[in-house]
Homo-oligomer: A and B are copies of this chain.
Amino acid sequence: MSSSKHTEIAQAAVRLFEQKGYRATSVQDIADAVGLQKGSLYHYIHSKEDLLMQIAHQAISEFNRTLEKINHENISPQKKLAKMIENHLTISAVNREAITVLLRDAFALEETQHRTIIELTDKYTDLVTSILQEGQQKGEFSVKHPKISALAILGACNWLYRWYQTDGSLTVQQISQIFADLFLNGLLSN
């Protein structure tokens, strides 16, 4: 079995799931997209659901991996938060199709697999929360409820896949700076 064929199948699946939705995409659609008979496709995959799990798992794992790295850096909490936002928005913009599938379609997984994705998502929320707690402990942040504030920041970042256009007037870096400024300084004039 060729590893490049696996990659090709995964890429076709993420594109089809994003465009048509997971449920509306058939195994035949995926086979057609990579020029295989349906029977031959099953040499490479066990099921359509396994492809969904693979896409969702890779996407959420990448978020966790980059944030763990940032959390270990010897920089201030506000710099960590700004980096977290830029990384999150960059991953979302670069892998827009996979992130759409993760955020919209992962609920269609059977319960054990969905539970794994939820646990990894909770872990990510905890990592963001810990940045806010660190800022609070160091007196850098004034934050009444770190977990709820982390969920607000995450929601803002997760919404990007719904409106970001690569041909838009702003780069991901510019959007990240606007977000970081909003969350760090707030809207009120000083």
Q: Which residues of A contact B (CB under 8 A)?
A: 21, 23-24, 78, 81, 104, 107-108, 132, 135, 139-145, 148-149, 151-160, 162-163, 170, 175, 178-179, 181-190
* Other-chain residue from B155, B179, B189 in contact with A140 (beta carbon distance below 8 A): B189
Residue of B nearest to A168 (CB): B148
Majority-rule SS of A interface residues: helix
| Contacting pair A156 B152 (CB below 8 A) | yes
Q: A187-B81, A187-B184 are in contact. Are A151 and B132 (CB under 8 A)?
A: no
- Complex: how many Å from CA A118 to CA B175? 22
**A140: chain B residues within 8 A (beta carbon):** 188-189
Counted per complex, copies of this chain come to: 2
| Contacting pair A107 B21 (CB below 8 A) | yes
**A108: chain B residues within 8 A (beta carbon):** 21, 24
- Complex: how many Å from CA A160 to CA B21? 22
| Contacting pair B135 A187 (CB below 8 A) | yes
A-B contacts, 13 of them at CB < 8 A, read: A21-B108, A23-B24, A104-B104, A139-B189, A141-B188, A145-B170, A148-B179, A151-B163, A152-B179, A155-B156, A155-B162, A156-B159, A184-B187
Q: A21-B108, A187-B135 are in contact. Are A181 and B141 (CB under 8 A)?
A: no
